[in-house]
């Protein structure tokens, strides 16, 4: 599904996003640019980022029409998508305040929403034009070359607009996600962050921790020769971008720490059952988890 130029389609002809600027043409920004172009609802796409190599790749793949290292290149854009790691938000939003047109709609795809809203409020004199969003879709790969046109088809996108948001901006961003095949829903930013700490951020931390724990003796290649499908499945997300996950952890500290505590409590309970040889307790803990996961899979398949 990756590579190649995505052909313009008809679906988005009634939606006019005008000139689009994507700051951060990686997996998410690149996939959104591809899908919006394929839907035929953008005139021209400008990519903004740091590495010329990534931006050249994006241009060669037809994801963007032109590019710049400077956020000032958003000046002509009607719609601006911020798709950089959370740690770059201060730098990007302070530049947007200087260079974005006052009638441009700004949205983002970042994984922690209170930080996005707080940063927009800190820098933008018109925060009502900013509609915060988070597509619940992705892979463990990064960069423009990893992007693909169908990433958001069937995905849920959580929108967490702030209190001062302009309804016309919300409608544009909602329509943007619908046109790429996603289903937008609305949520309070703090609630989003608590939820994501549990179902996304903690699992990533756990995957990183498991790999480190198992390989702590410095015999990683030797030990991993014996790792099979279970280890591979469980640790797939430990191949995700370390920078991105560092930033997510640091911009959702309170909720994530609560989830780390919950995991530690689980592990402590399991450790105690193992130490005491309490098979009944262990089986009950495993059975409880199996029931919840099986029910979830059953419901998401039907």
Instruction: Compute the Cα dihedral for 170, 109, 21, 2 and give only its sign.
Output: negative
Q: How far is the CB of 212 from ligand NAP (least distance, A)?
A: 21
Of positions 85, 133, 161, 162, contacts ligand NAP by CB under 6 A = 85
Instruction: Indicate the residue among 92 and 120 with the shorter CB distance to ligand NAP.
Output: 92
9 to 6, 32, 35, 91, 147: CA distances (angstroms): 9, 14, 9, 35, 18
CB 93 within 8 Å of CB 100: no
Instruction: Indicate the residue among 91 and 183 with the shorter CB distance to ligand NAP.
Output: 91
Residue 173 interacts with ligand NAP (CB under 6 A)? no
Question: What count of residues does the chain have?
Answer: 302
Of positions 23, 80, 149, 159, contacts ligand NAP by CB under 6 A = 23
Residue 91 interacts with ligand NAP (CB under 6 A)? yes
The number of helix segments (H) and strand segments (E) in the chain equals 12, 9
Instruction: Indicate the residue among 244 and 256 with the shorter CB distance to ligand NAP.
Output: 244
Instruction: Compute the Cα dihedral for 125, 178, 109, 7 and give only its sign.
Output: negative
Residue 110 interacts with ligand NAP (CB under 6 A)? yes
Residue 203 interacts with ligand NAP (CB under 6 A)? no
Rounded Cα distance, 256 and 252, in Å: 6
Rounded Cα distance, 280 and 290, in Å: 15
Residue 27 interacts with ligand NAP (CB under 6 A)? yes
Element (H, E) at 188: none
Sole window of 42-50, 250-258, 259-267, 286-294 interacting with ligand NAP (rule: CB under 6 A): 42-50
Residue 241 interacts with ligand NAP (CB under 6 A)? yes
Residue 153 interacts with ligand NAP (CB under 6 A)? no
Rounded Cα distance, 248 and 262, in Å: 19
Give me the residues that bind ligand NAP (CB under 6 A), please.
Answer: 23-29, 48-51, 54, 83-86, 88, 91-92, 109-111, 134-135, 138, 142-143, 241, 244, 248
């Amino acid at each position: 599904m990756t590579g190649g130029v995505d052909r313009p389609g008809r679906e988005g002809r009634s939606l006019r996003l005008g000139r689009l600027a994507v700051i951060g043409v990686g997996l998410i920004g690149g996939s959104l640019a591809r899908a919006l172009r394929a839907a035929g609802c953008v005139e021209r796409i400008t990519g903004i980022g740091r590495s010329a190599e990534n931006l050249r790749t994006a241009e060669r793949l037809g994801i963007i029409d032109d590019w710049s290292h400077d956020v000032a290149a958003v000046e002509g854009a009607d719609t601006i998508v911020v798709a950089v790691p959370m740690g770059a938000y201060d730098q990007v939003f302070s530049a947007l305040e200087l260079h974005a047109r006052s009638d441009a709609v700004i949205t983002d795809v970042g994984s922690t929403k209170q930080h996005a809203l707080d940063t927009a409020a800190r820098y933008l004199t018109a925060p009502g034009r900013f509609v915060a969003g988070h597509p619940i879709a992705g892979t463990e790969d990064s960069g423009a070359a990893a992007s693909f046109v169908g990433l958001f088809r069937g995905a849920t996108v959580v929108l967490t607009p702030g209190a001062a948001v302009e309804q016309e901006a919300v409608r544009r961003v909602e329509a943007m996600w619908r046109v790429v095949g996603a289903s937008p829903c609305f949520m309070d930013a703090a609630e989003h962050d608590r939820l994501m700490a549990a179902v996304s951020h903690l699992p990533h931390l756990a995957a990183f921790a498991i790999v480190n724990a198992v390989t702590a003796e410095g015999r990683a290649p030797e030990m991993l020769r014996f790792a099979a499908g279970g280890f591979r499945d469980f640790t797939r997300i430990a191949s995700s971008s370390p920078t991105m996950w560092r930033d997510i952890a640091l911009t959702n500290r309170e909720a994530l720490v609560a989830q780390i505590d919950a995991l530690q409590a689980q592990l402590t309970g399991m450790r105690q059952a193992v130490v005491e040889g309490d098979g009944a307790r262990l089986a009950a803990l495993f059975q409880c988890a199996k029931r919840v996961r099986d029910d979830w899979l059953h419901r998401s398949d039907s």
